[in-house]
Amino acid sequence: MDLRLESVARNEALLREVNRQIERLSDDLDDRSWTTDGRIEFHCECGLTCDRRLLLTHEEYDRIHAEEDRFIVAAGHDSPEIEVVVVRNERYWVVDKLPVAEPLVGADGRPNSD
């Protein structure tokens, strides 16, 4: 895998960690949400230079990230060389890492490697 794609995969894992902190902080709020409809604003986890925000509920976020090799991205922000889109809807897409990229994102219980 080329260095650019390795960087994208590692950036995705970093953004997932940022989003986990956002989710933890939102748990501390009395109403458990940052929007009136119960959704939280998360960063797009595409690993590219991106400032998109995605609205998901706690349940959606937890369900998607139950698998360590899945990430939330804005529509069209997938990297087909290292992942495949498994969910498309009007608010976000879910991508699943290909086996070649899984070790870079800590998938399947493996730690991220530098």
Q: Has residue 34 got a pLDDT over 80?
A: no
> What percentage of the chain exceeds 90 in pLDDT?
41
DSSP string, the chain: --HHHHHHHHHHHHHHHHHHHHHHHHHTSTTS-SSTTS-EEEE----SS---EEEE-HHHHHHHTTSTTEEEE-TT---TTTEEEEEE-SS-EEEEE-TTTGGGGTGGGPPP--
Question: Averaged over 43-50, what is the pLDDT?
Answer: 89
What are 53-75's pLDDT values in tens digits?
Answer: 999 988 899 999 999 899 999 99
